[in-house]
Structure 1
Amino acid sequence: MGKGKEKNVASKQFRWSKPMHTLLLEILADEAAKGNKPSNTFKPASFALVAKSISEKFGVECVPDHVNNHLQTIKSMWNIIGTLRKKCGFGWDENLRMITCDKKVYDEEVVANPKHEQYLNKKIEMYDEMAIVVGKDMATGSFAKSFTDVVQHDNILDSDLDLDFDDVSSKGKYVASSDSGSTKRSHRKRSRDDSEDGYNLISEKLGEVALALQALNKGVDADHLYQEVMKVEGYDEFMLATAFDHLNGDEKLARGFLVKNAKLRKFWLDNFFKNHGN
């Protein structure tokens, strides 16, 4: 067997535990925040970092190929989540990060796709990190939306307002109605209230864009950054002050730190103190 085939077999045989899966997502989410994910692909150094961290923490031999292989699995999981969220009969709880459905829909889906059970009516662990690592859009909640995401959302809303009735009905948004004759109306007039609601929603989103631009122009607030760094538990005041000085001198790093949740902030600080000998 050639070296290439041996390498592929080894990649498939590596067993990923839940803690390993969690650590991979935490590290890659942090790498993305640092700008090490140009386009939709991580830099090789990011895969190497994950492999090294998993090898050291769990006492296994993990290589970058193992990381890349598992990343494909995570992409498949993300695609399933996205598909389920769009299906008729399923809802989405933003706070719990959970796909919701009633018992009938649940039973029908599980019978048709048994592996989908793990995504239904239960919190999707590491959802925000998955959104950053393999999703096309930034997650909401503990992670801020990017300016591009907001603009794209606005474009979708704007185009929806001018859809043909046939287009809309084909997507299940409306039920077609017919006249007494055989000719169907191809367009449906929206009521004045519907139009106003649509335009009000667009105005609200444009307001979010304006706020995002203002935040970019203002830069990072040093006082806010200091408060956020100093409230992380588990480190003494001098260590956190050192981390603050480092972040305050690099606006890109500071922004990345501020969008992280508490767990990712602590992970970043652990790496920082390790690399800087504290």
Structure 2
Amino acid sequence: MDISEGSIAVRGRGENKRKWIPVEDDELIKALVDVSLDPRWRSDGSFKNGYTSVLEARLAEKLPDSRISATPHIDSRLRYFKTKYSALEQMLNKSGFTWDPTKKMIQCEKQQYETHCKNNPDAKGLYGVSFPYYDELSMVYSKDMATGEGAEDMTDAVQNLEEELVRVNANDE
């Protein structure tokens, strides 16, 4: 299938709206993760001005016939993804909601979900629906983005604890 066939503009509320296809979403998320790891475009947990232009260039390279522009297409799609990701995070921080990593969807009782949506309209449309980009968006939007630097495995942790206990006991004597 040609990219330009699936990626169409849909009329709504007097403006053209872009209907994204899965391959475009995939490439956007890949590019977003790459840019989020680049210190030229991200620092202190937020993106620098112009990062959507970099995303536009990367999408133009990967999907030359898509005609996706930074404004309004990429801005709008990123806003959608961030809203849905935030809604998922909010649910997962409550008891009774879990994440199914195989199905890539939220797991909970339907009644509990409906009650949650009454006060949190951004969560609508997430029940029983796969959200395949949760892990990638977690790397991008998570407040405590782990790099793995300075991490210790279980063996190191036990050894460090034993050494610390020896130091504490030596100081007490």
TM over 0.5, shorter chain: yes
2:28 aligns with: 24
8 Å CA contact 1:74–1:134 kept in 2: the answer is: no
Distance 1:102 1:34 in 2: 40
Tell me which protein shows more strand as a share of its residues.
2
Counterpart of 1:76 (choices 75, 83, 92) is: 83
Residue aligning to 1:159: none
Counterpart for residue 42 of structure 1 = 47
Correspondence for 2:157: 207
Q: Is the 8 A contact 1:29 1:133 kept in 2?
A: yes
Tell me, in whole angstroms, the C-alpha distance in 2 between the residues paired with 1:73 and 1:87: 22
How does the TM-score come out when normalised to structure 1?
0.39
**Maintained 8 Å contact 2:84/2:123:** no
Contact 2:29 2:136 in 1 (8 A): yes
Alignment match, 1:248: none
Residue in structure 2 matched with residue 192 of structure 1 by the alignment:
none
Q: Name the residue aligned to 1:225.
A: none
Shift of the alpha carbon at 1:100?
1.1
Aligned-partner residue type, residue 207 of structure 1? A
**Aligned with 1:54 (options 38, 56, 59):** 59
Name the counterpart of 1:134.
141
Q: How many pairs are equivalent?
A: 140
SS at match of 1:78: helix
User: After TM superposition, where is structure 1 displaced by more than 4 Å over at least 4 residues in a row?
Assistant: 94-97, 106-115, 144-147
CA distance in 1, matches of 2:100, 2:27: 25
- Return the offset for 1:130: 0.7
Secondary structure class of the residue paired with 1:99: strand
CA change 1:107–1:42 in 2 (3 A) is closer
Residue 121 of structure 2 is aligned to residue 119 of structure 1: no
What SS does the corresponding residue of 2:79 show, helix, strand or coil?
helix
Q: Separation in 2 of the partners of 1:111 and 1:99? A: 17
Q: Does the aligned pair in 1 maintain the 2:27–2:59 contact within 8 Å?
A: yes
- Deviation per CA, 1:241-273: give whole Å up to 9, x if none: xxxxxxxxxxxxxxxxxxxxxxxxxxxxxxxxx
Q: Secondary structure at the match of 1:92?
A: strand
Could you tell me the percent identity over the aligned residues? 22
Question: What secondary structure does 2:106 align onto?
Answer: strand
Whichever of the two has the greater Rg, that structure is 1
RMSD between aligned residues: 3.8
Instruction: Mark the CA change 1:110 to 1:79 in structure 2 (over 3 Å): closer, same or farther.
Output: closer
- In the other structure, the counterpart of 2:106 is 99
Structure 1 residue runs of 5 or longer lacking an equivalent are 1-10, 151-203, 211-278
1:183 corresponds in structure 2 to none
Q: Is the 8 A contact 1:52 1:62 kept in 2?
A: no
CA distance in structure 1 between the aligned counterparts of 2:149 and 2:79, rounded to whole angstroms: 24
Q: Distance in 1 between matches of 2:70 and 2:108?
A: 38
Distance 1:76 1:114, change over 3 A: closer
For 1:28, give the aligned amino acid: L
Q: Cα distance 1:112–1:50, how it changes in 2: closer, same or farther (>3 A)?
A: same
Q: AA paired with 1:41?
A: S
